[in-house]
Structures are given as C-alpha cells and as structure tokens.
C-alpha cells in the first residue's frame, strides 16, 4: 500500500482574468494558502502554460516547474481534456466543439483533428520534460449520438466506431509510451468512453495498449447510477489519476438520469462541492489505498450552487482528512511469535 498524495487542485475552473487567478505564480500561491500541495494544469489555457513551448524547450518546462515550486507546490499532472475531445467529433457537434480549437481550424474538421492530435503529442513530451508520468484527457465521441438505441443501431456500428476511435488514438498512445506517460481517459457522459464496458471495448480495439489508462472520478458514476466502488475493484490496475468531485442523484416522478433538458440546478443528477453530495469518499479513499494507488487526490470543483472559492477553501481540508497514512506494521504484530517452519508443520499436523 501507498499513501495517496494530496491535496491537489485542478486549476481549470478557477482561472480568470482577475488576480490572483490570471497567472500561474499567483494562482499557485492562492492555492497553497488554502492548504493545497499540488496543481493540475489545463494545457489549453495560455495564462498558465504554453504547451508547445513546454514540449520543445526543457528550459521553459523547468521555468514552469520552478514557478510552481516557488509557491511550495508541485505539478500533479497536465490536462488535455479539451484537445482530447477534438480527436473524435461527430459532425453533429462540429460547430459546438469548434470553440475548443483555434479559429484557424474552425469549420475544418480534418484540420481540427490534426491540431488536436498534435496537441496530445506535445503534451506527452511536455509531461516528460516536467517529470510527470500521467496525463488527463477525454476520448472524444463518434458513437455518443447512438447511446440510446432508437432507432436500433445497424449491425457492426459499435465495432466500426471503436475501430476508428482506436485508430485515431493509437499514434498518440504510442507517443505517450515513447515518453513514459500513461494517458488517463476520464470516463464521462458525452464521450465514447463513458463507463466500464465502453472502456473495455476501446481497450480491446487498441490491442490492450498499456498506456490506455483511467482517470477515476466517482461523480460521473453517481449520475449514471453506476457502482463507483465496484468500479475500483474491477479497474484499479488501470486507474492512474483521481479527481475528487462530489455529486448527487435525486430522481423524481418527472425526471431521472437524462434530466429533461434542464439546467444543472434543476436536474436530478448534479455536481456538488466536496461533502455536499452523495459520494462515499471514505470508502473511495479506502479502496484506492487498499489497491496501492500511488497518484494524487486532485479536487475538481464543479458545483451548481456554491461559490468556487468557498468550494476550494473547504476542499483542501476535506481531501487531507480523507487521505489515509498507510501503516508500516500490522495491528496484531504485538502477538507475533516469530517464524519457525517446524512449528508451522506441527500446527498443520504434518
């Protein structure tokens, strides 16, 4: 067993054009002041990192690392959620997802995908330059519009979809492997990798690529009515990243999992600040510790009610209190009578 590292904070939802949220140095000092020890950096936000430069210049990567460390913090991982989304986009979502990419590739799906793939490759090298061994992303989606099979899916559609998805990701996964980085897909509604079965289908399509790993976030499983604790039992060997995010699901006679097109505040399933939802984090931290998870516990703040600064202020101690410092001895060592093979044989009647 290992003691989980933390608390960490994902910066994406906190970045702003106002100080202290508008620059890496100041937001790291703010985070440290709340008790966080690590920051997860969104690579699409130029206020905190130039991804291409971090990939091409070890000197620049060292400067980024030094800025974070000067605030008493560490970089937990990099995030490529928005770029990963664009590796695979169904045409129905082209206009909606163009906003994740530079204007130069808007309206050009092929160019947008090529840009996204290059971004992921930059992130592999940047992670290596920063001394990181895991990277967060989304899978994108070609099949999501068929998630509820009506009209019925044509025979072979799912297999064809995952074959194409794997073909797009394999060059990226190989680049990750070349730099010693695990690519951790956040299992998330809206992505083709949205539960355990869909992850398994993708993994098989990649030839069980060793770098196709998982970012565990129980909040997305609460909203799907999926057993988020059994998920750890099944996939713990592949879980290399951990988002600590809370959620609740309160179905009514009028609305359930799909939400009725309502806004977050009115949906039965909604994200909450840590401790305000239904996730059993004591059990989550216990299972991850039991299985030897060696990464960071990183707070991702998403709440339909609470102010983000309050969520962050409460989040650091919440995570700290849930991290289990693993024991170096067994509780019954006091009764140990030593090792004697002859005694063992006698006890067994041999």
For residue 65, the model assigns a pLDDT of 98
How many CB atoms lie under 10 A from the CB of residue 206? Answer: 18
What CATH number should be reported for the domain holding residue 223? Answer: 3.20.20.150
What is the C-alpha separation between 217 and 298, in angstroms, rounded? 10
CA of 61: how far to CAs of 123, 170, 178, 346, in Å?
Answer: 11, 26, 18, 62
For residue 337, the model assigns a pLDDT of 74
For residue 331, the model assigns a pLDDT of 79
Domain total for the chain?
Answer: 1
Q: Are strands 38-42 and 74-80 parallel, antiparallel or unpaired?
A: parallel
Burial pattern 45-77, b for ≥16 Cβ within 10 A else e, equals eeebbebbebbeeeebbeebbebbeebebbbbb
Burial pattern 296-311, b for ≥16 Cβ within 10 A else e, equals bbbbbbbbeeeebeeb
* 293 Cβ neighbours under 8 A, 6+ residues apart: 2, 4, 236, 239, 242
- Residue 170 is part of which domain span? 5-347
For residue 126, the model assigns a pLDDT of 98
For residue 334, the model assigns a pLDDT of 73
pLDDT by 10s per residue, the chain, length 350: 899 999 999 999 999 999 999 999 999 999 999 999 999 999 999 999 999 999 999 999 999 999 999 999 999 999 999 999 999 999 999 999 999 999 999 999 999 999 999 999 999 999 999 999 999 999 999 999 999 999 999 999 999 999 999 999 999 999 999 999 999 999 999 999 999 999 999 999 999 999 999 999 999 999 999 999 999 999 999 999 999 999 999 999 999 999 999 999 999 999 999 999 999 999 999 999 999 999 999 999 999 999 999 999 999 999 999 999 998 887 777 778 788 899 889 889 99
For residue 340, the model assigns a pLDDT of 85
For residue 9, the model assigns a pLDDT of 98
What is the C-alpha separation between 156 and 105, in angstroms, rounded? 32
């Amino acid at each position: 067993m290992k003691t989980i590292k933390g608390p960490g904070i994902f910066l994406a939802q906190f970045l702003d054009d106002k100080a202290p949220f508008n620059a890496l140095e100041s937001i790291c000092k703010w985070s440290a002041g709340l008790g966080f020890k690590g920051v997860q950096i969104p690579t699409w936000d130029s206020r905190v990192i130039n991804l291409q430069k971090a990939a091409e210049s070890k000197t620049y990567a060292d400067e980024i690392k030094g800025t974070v460390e000067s605030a008493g913090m560490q970089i937990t991982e990099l995030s490529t959620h928005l770029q990963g989304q664009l590796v695979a986009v169904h045409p129905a979502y082209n206009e909606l997802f163009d906003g994740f990419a530079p204007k130069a590739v808007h309206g050009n799906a092929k160019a947008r995908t090529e840009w996204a793939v290059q971004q992921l490759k930059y992130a592999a090298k940047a992670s290596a330059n920063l001394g990181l061994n895991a990277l967060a992303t989304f899978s994108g989606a070609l099949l999501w519009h068929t998630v509820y099979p009506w009209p019925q899916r044509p025979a072979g559609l799912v297999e064809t979809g995952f074959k194409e998805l794997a073909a797009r990701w394999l060059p990226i996964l190989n680049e990750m492997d070349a730099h010693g980085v695990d690519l951790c897909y956040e299992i998330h509604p809206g992505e083709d990798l949205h539960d355990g079965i869909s992850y398994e289908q993708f993994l098989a399509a990649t030839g069980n690529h060793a770098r196709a790993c998982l970012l565990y976030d129980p909040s997305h499983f609460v909203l799907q009515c999926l057993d988020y604790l059994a998920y750890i039992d099944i996939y713990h060997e592949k879980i290399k990243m951990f988002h600590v995010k809370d959620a609740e699901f309160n179905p009514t006679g009028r609305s359930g999992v799909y939400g009725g097109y309502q806004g977050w505040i009115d949906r039965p399933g909604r994200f909450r600040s840590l401790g305000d939802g239904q996730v059993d984090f004591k059990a989550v931290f216990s299972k991850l510790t039991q299985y030897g998870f060696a990464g960071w516990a990183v707070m991702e703040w998403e709440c339909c009610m609470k102010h983000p600064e309050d969520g962050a202020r409460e989040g650091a101690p919440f995570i700290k209190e849930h991290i289990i410092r693993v024991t170096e001895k067994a509780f019954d060592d006091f009764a140990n009578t030593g090792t004697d093979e002859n005694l063992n044989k006698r006890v067994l009647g041999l």
